Amino acid sequence: MAVEKTSVNPPHLLWQGGTQPLKAGYGKLMMWIFLLSDVFTFSGFLVTYGMIRFGYPTFSEVVAGMTHKTFEFSQLYWPIPEKVFKAVPLLHGVDAPLVFVGIMTFILIFSSVTMVLAVEAGHRRDKADVEKWMLWTILGGFIFLSSQAWEWSHFIHGTEHGLTLEDGTTIFGAKLGINEYGPPNFANLFFFITGFHGFHVFIGVLLNIMVFYNAANNVYEKRGHYEMVEKVGLYWHFVDLVWVFVFTFFYLV
Amino acid sequence: MAEHSSIERQKPNTKHLWKVFWILLVLTALEFVVAFTIDADHYKWTKIGIFVFMTIVKAYYIVGIFMHLGSETKSFIWTIVLPIIFVLWLIVALLVEGEYFGIEKFF
């Protein structure tokens, strides 16, 4: 009853071995192509963000004479990010602009280094080192995700005094419909873009756990190479790369 | 499982990786210095220019060293870099055009 497996491709179209195309493994090449498509997605977000932001007048155009020092939140113009993101856990009421997001950036850069060290250990087929550095990377991913959860929660709840509108009502925090820090679009874009990045981090942590599990169970040892660490590493570094851009265009500019 | 323990444990060569870590860290620290020392009321676009430049330098190190794109074959590098150059062009073009409409046209 055994059915002989045959290929639908004629033999002369089959790759007969030898040096791989572009001297890279198929999986690694495809991971790069996938990341390239992800670049398109995030570039789309960046363009959307820039165009909507440019669509609003600047605060000095709305209120004559207002500077960065005398800046106040209004729904008429885009906020200054460092006036929005200035809270740090356990330091209630302390004015620390961009400090927490700086810590998050540091965590992600650090987990990127531990990931590249795991890749390097994989090249040496050093199972113990791969496991060690993968664990550090997973830990960094979890800390980053928790930090982002805290930041979102703080952003949603808002400040104690809120923003008093012209009709006398006071609104608190940033939600999809109302936003005490500026136009609702500011909050919407923030949630959408950092959320999409956070989702990437979440998937990355799952992949990292999978790599750790397989490495610990000798899957790569039996396979004879640790290329999977390299492929997942590419994804993880891309996530770090996206954060570098989010950090610049959402928090600094 | 004795055959694995008999293989001599190669020593890790990670100096250049840690160097990139320090470069990324220093660049991020410099971004903070720029964010809080340069007067944004007068030098807004200088500031943005510095941030964008530093971001691209960081991206170069992450992609080139951490993702090992620098050590791939030339055709591999161009397969990835060429589309990105066009995408960067698209971003700049759309953002420049984006200055010509106001949000009030939407609402």
pLDDT over 80 at A175, yes or no: yes
Interface confidence, given as ipTM, is 0.86
Contacts B7 to A, Cβ<8 Å: 125
Residue B85 has a pLDDT of 94
pLDDT: which is higher, A22 or B82: B82
pLDDT over 70 at A17, yes or no: yes
Task: Report how many helices (DSSP H) and strands (DSSP E) chain A contains, helices first.
Answer: 8, 2
CB distance A231 to A28 below 8 Å: yes
> Across the interface, do B12 and A121 touch by the CB < 8 Å criterion?
yes
> In the predicted model, what is the mean pLDDT of residues A28-32?
93
Distance CA(A21)–CA(A13), nearest Å, equals 14
pLDDT: which is higher, B10 or A109: A109
> In the predicted model, what is the mean pLDDT of residues A242-253?
92
> In the predicted model, what is the mean pLDDT of residues A37-54?
92
Nearest to B91 among A43, A127, A129 (CB): A43
> In the predicted model, what is the mean pLDDT of residues B78-82?
95
Q: How confident is the model at residue A5 (pLDDT cuts 50, 70, 90)?
A: low
Long-range (24+ apart) CB contacts under 8 A made by A96-105 are: A97/B36, A98/A251, A98/A252, A98/B32, A98/B35, A100/A147, A100/A150, A100/A151, A101/A151, A101/A247, A101/A251, A102/B28, A102/B32, A103/A147, A104/A144, A104/A147, A104/A148, A104/A151, A105/A243, A105/A244, A105/A247, A105/B28
3-state secondary structure of A139: helix
Q: pLDDT over 90 for what percent of chain A?
A: 58
Residue B7 has a pLDDT of 56
Residue A61 has a pLDDT of 84
CB distance B66 to A241 below 8 Å: no
> Across the interface, do B28 and A109 touch by the CB < 8 Å criterion?
yes
* Spacing of C-alpha A132 from chain mean position: 23
Query: Is B65 exposed, middle or buried, given 0-12, 13-18 or 19+ CB atoms closer than 10 A?
Result: buried
Task: Identify the weakest region by mean pLDDT among A6-10, A40-44, B51-55, B82-86.
Answer: A6-10
Residue A97 has a pLDDT of 86
pLDDT: which is higher, B42 or B18: B18
Model pTM?
0.89
Residue A67 has a pLDDT of 86
> Across the interface, do A50 and B95 touch by the CB < 8 Å criterion?
yes
Q: Could you tell me the CA-to-CA distances from A97 to A52, A66, A67, B26 in Å, in that order?
A: 24, 20, 17, 19
Q: Could you tell me the CA-to-CA distances from A22 to A224, B85, B104 in Å, in that order?
A: 21, 20, 50
Q: State the best of A109, A117, A220 to mutate against chain B, taking most chain B CBs within 10 Å.
A: A109
> In the predicted model, what is the mean pLDDT of residues A175-202?
93
Compute the nearest-CA separation of B89 from chain A (Å). Answer: 11
How many residues in chain A? 253
Per the listing, tokens 């960067």 go with: B88
